[in-house]
Structure 1
């Protein structure tokens, strides 16, 4: 029997590294940190080793198609494919950033949507039977969708929107932002939000015949965030609420009464983002 393997993109720091840390303690197989910079990736692996955890490293820049292809070939040759793929790599400009919006739109969509799409294109064929693919999206995507024009919302929510059409819509947003016409075309003023809308829609595409279980994990799930669940019913089949105590369970009961299927899982991340349990 071949060794199982889990791969997390953009995982030399932050949420990605926390996911790797959790997998190291729970996943029965090899766990890989991937990052653009080899030095930073290996430093991250060393930091886990100092805590008694074993993670391997493989270079992967999702914005470099040759890097994506090389990584997919590596995991296919060494492991016969992948058992778990977590698409975590992404970029978000800070609200105070003065970079022109057109540049933000181009850079953000290139990474968060188009590059992640490339990863899916090359890795989905090597996902083993019974494997899992997790695309890390955001409630900001649901917010952005709710601020799109009715026509755009209809297409993005449509069950028959194709991957090519979706890519064309994402490119339209980028192109319109270059002439400051994106809002006139029905798009909101949020590059990150639009990128996550696109990723979420891509995650619900049934064309490859794989089973989908879309869902949401809301950290420290307060009422204001739970309201985000009701913005787009298409995206919600199972919703995971995380909390450190009983309010998580009471939130589940309340959402069940409102017709939203939810589950709760206790999740505690300490201030150093070292422990997930």
Structure 2
């Protein structure tokens, strides 16, 4: 049965791992006519599309589009193509992310910029460019894949108050994350109240951004984030205790549930505490 009106879901970083299963589960939900997977690697994107297409109904069209989170020109090109082909987006799942392996010899300060550029600044820029398309969607949803490592208590009480401030603006949030980056480069991030995790701070930023967008876009767009859990994927070196398919459900639930909340953090298949 064809979805009427046509609904379009976009999943970033969906050529493998959790993102692949998010796209597959959205395709199997019967709620979308088009599943778009944004991928850096065209070959992997094409292969993932074929694998998903084989498992979903013929009425669902799965396609891959070039997208590199953190590359603003790539964000713009992707959004332009979505505008031209669909004129709207109904669901956006920001899944693409980056983490250095524990065995990587790059020093901590050397890992900060790339981690933040992909996981936070890139995600924010891409989402800001996609919001006009989401506002045109049918029952639109925005889901950001975060992590329990983005927990609020990893930073000092003073920083906790800033990140959880109900009036925090996106500009203020970006300045906070930039301060972390500067403090790392100056070797004073621990004294300034930050955790010793580039990945954790990047995901803390994602959760805070989720809350800002939830306020800003209400009541049009339901905006939530999630922790997939510790999943056996390339990012974890396949050490996770949860399958990528099960982890994906934490993003799919707020993307397709009836009457979703907004500004919440989903973990273990339910609304959880940040």
TM exceeds 0.5? yes
TM, length-normalised to structure 1: 0.76
What CA deviation, in whole Å up to 9, does each residue of 1:221-262 have, x standing for no partner?
A: x9xxxxxxxxxxxx98575534xxxxxxxxx8xxxxxxxx67
Contact 2:98 2:119 in 1 (8 A): yes
- Structure 2: distance between partners of 1:217 and 1:183: 25
In the other structure, the counterpart of 1:265 is none
Contact 2:215 2:263 in 1 (8 A): no
What CA deviation, in whole Å up to 9, does each residue of 1:32-74 have, x standing for no partner?
A: 1110121221121123344466521111112211111111111
Pair 105,240 (structure 1): closer, same or farther in 2 beyond 3 Å: closer
- Structure 2: distance between partners of 1:131 and 1:214: 12
Cα RMSD of the aligned pairs, angstroms, is 2.5
TM, length-normalised to structure 2: 0.76
- Structure 2: distance between partners of 1:133 and 1:213: 5
Q: Which has the higher contact order (CA 8 A, sep 6+)?
A: 2
In the other structure, the counterpart of 2:105 is 98
Matched, 1:37 2:41: yes
Cα shift at 1:218: 6.0
Question: Can you give the 5+ residue segments of structure 2 that lack an aligned partner in the other structure?
Answer: 231-240, 242-261
- Structure 2: distance between partners of 1:87 and 1:100: 27
Question: Can you give the 5+ residue segments of structure 1 that lack an aligned partner in the other structure?
Answer: 223-234, 243-251, 253-260, 263-277
Cα shift at 1:13: 0.6
In the other structure, the counterpart of 1:134 is 143
In the other structure, the counterpart of 2:9 is 6
Pick from 241, 248, 251 the counterpart of residue 268 of structure 2.
241
Contact 2:13 2:97 in 1 (8 A): yes
Contact 1:86 1:134 in 2 (8 A): yes
Aligned length: 230
In the other structure, the counterpart of 1:17 is 20
1:60-99 to structure 2, matched below 5 A, reads 60-99=67-106
Q: Which has the larger radius of gyration?
A: 1
- Structure 2: distance between partners of 1:35 and 1:182: 33
In the other structure, the counterpart of 2:193 is 186
